[in-house]
Structure 1
Amino acid sequence: MAGRRSGCLLTLTSPCWIGYAIGIPLLSLAAPVLVPYLHRRDPAQFAEYRTAWLCILGITPLVAFLLVRWASPAAGRLRAPRPRGRPSPAKRVRNPRACRPGRVTGYLTRMAALVVATSAAAYRHLPEHPGARGEQAVREIAPLAGGVAVATVAVLIVIRLWDRPYVPPITVEVVRAQIHQAEKALKRINAENARMERMVAAVDRKLSAAHSRRDFATLRTMHHESYGCADSVHGVYRSVQDSHRVMVQTIRVVHRSAWQPTGVVIRVVHPKSRAEYARLRADAGGLADRAARLGAATDYHLSLVQRLNARTADLKHTIRDECGPAGENWYNALEERREAARLAEGKPV
């Protein structure tokens, strides 16, 4: 058999870069089964290409490692940076994804799972005539390549899903605490909205009276109060907006947990988990209602802040235009202080 071609098993590695890029990784993942099979079926052909087959078998761990590393998310349970120092003992949970795997054991187990799956697929589709050529070689090798490729893709998808970052489940206590926080935030922002409505109405009255009564001291005091009110309530707006964002994220996590495979299995096995999840969904519905009301109040709050800022700017220009030299001097000094403050904060003037 000297001088024979390697046959259908080397058809995958056709003399082009696409063939090498696809064929060699597939052959390496199937090599733990293919190499012993070829050695037993055709010892002479195997002896002729012994070096090539042993090299393909030798790079199997490297190919498996590269594929596992590519499939596992960079910020996931396996590859994410680990905190320095001695980790505190983790609380026992039912979800097996809660514990991060060791770096070495994690890679080894995933590599082993990949090689076992591809070897099983290769064993199922071993060619009957390893020395075939031409169309027969294509017919012999197509099921083998397809089976190994499907097994590889399936295992890599499972690895990617399994190694996603673990998000601790939201508990009923957390949702109820956020409901209480939402009620407090609603009361706070409603009070601030009423305060701003009064301030906007007062500024409007002063603006309408400015043309008939040019009282510089009164208008200056009103500008100071209006500016201070807008500045303080804007801080309230940002705080409430952050709380609203946390509530929306909590609701999303609760809804997404309904479709997580591990959570579904745990609820099927443990009746207590089903009861806890029912309470969690009910409380999440109440939180969603309060979050919607808080979002509407926050949007209205922002519109009031914008109205108050516009009225404050009108009041500033009214002082400049209607209050003579004193108003102009006050306006110029105000603009200088504003520019100095923006320069100190590194903002463009």
Structure 2
Amino acid sequence: MEIRILLVIFFIASFIHESDSTTFTLTNHCPYNIWTANLTFTGPLSSTDSIAQPSQNSRVISAPPHWSGRIWARAPCSQLVRAYGGQDPKTFSCKTRDCEINWESCFGKGGVPGIGRGQNYEFGFNIPIKVIPSSGCPTTSCIKDVNVDCANEIAITNVGESQSTTLTITNHCPFTIWPAILTGSGPAASSTGFELASQASTEVTAQPHWSGRVWARTQCSNSGPFSCKTGDCGSNQISCNGKGGAPPVTLIEYTLAGSGNKDFFDISLVDGFNLPVKVVPSGRGCQSTSCPVDINAACPNELAIMNGGAKIGCKSACLAFGKPEFCCTGSFANANTCKPSSYSQIFKSRCPQAYSYAFDDKTSTFTCPNGGNYQITFCP
């Protein structure tokens, strides 16, 4: 008898066979390596109990009559490399279904959560699977990637292995903008500034542990040194090359793969406003944030940046007046003494998810597990 097992992404199986020996063909259709393993409950198993399987690779194991046991896949797995070359066999570990003995071979141990002899636990999910008997018996499968819809409170995340992040910046304004990126710490982002036509999008890549900000410049001109009416970074070029934007400007602030391997992000109007924006994480269950309203239209004249009779930016009270009670400095440098002002309320009432002054943390900082990407849309 032969049973074909297609490891499209997770497998766990338990079989009790009759008189004929059985061949299991384990095939990995995942786009990455897996490490298949098996645990014998009763009877001998003639093949090795675990092995690495590259994508599109198959291995065959055989079981004698009356064998009872389980088969599963581990992924992703890794080993430390010795200083003098080669891998240390005692440092093998896997993020899912690990045998917890630090060796590639499981030596009779089950995958976490524990598998005991003769026990049948509800294990959860790590990889989709399909089982096809060769004898014409019914097939069985779990071909949907359950991880995609897994609730955060029961999900296993790849904590400790941070991933790069793609920021897709889209311009839904009816005019051209010039997005800019400033790296505060960590590896530099893939761009520091570019032109973006109406309805166009551009991707920017940021590496793990990147911290920085994104904003949009408006009404820019190349006649003479490059300059912009709002958000200008003073580089005299489209690329900002490590320079920040002149306020007032709507800021999107990030720290990627920070504490707990989480991303932290917010929209800040602490130094003012120039364009509406929305930030949507791709991670399931992660909350989006936005400032979708054109605050310029409601900006008091004493805070407004004017151009040809039109309001094109709105300063914060700190930027406009420089007083400690507005800037949260001096004796106002803590949350107990620095309170929202009538000016900060103009921003907060229209964009409740955004920072309106320095101590707005409780309502304006958002988190998401690292590994997702972000859609940033100006004029959403």
- Please report the TM-score for the alignment, with normalisation by the length of structure 2: 0.24
Structure with the bigger percentage of strand: 2
Choose 1 or 2 for highest CA Rg: 1
TM-score by length of 1: 0.25
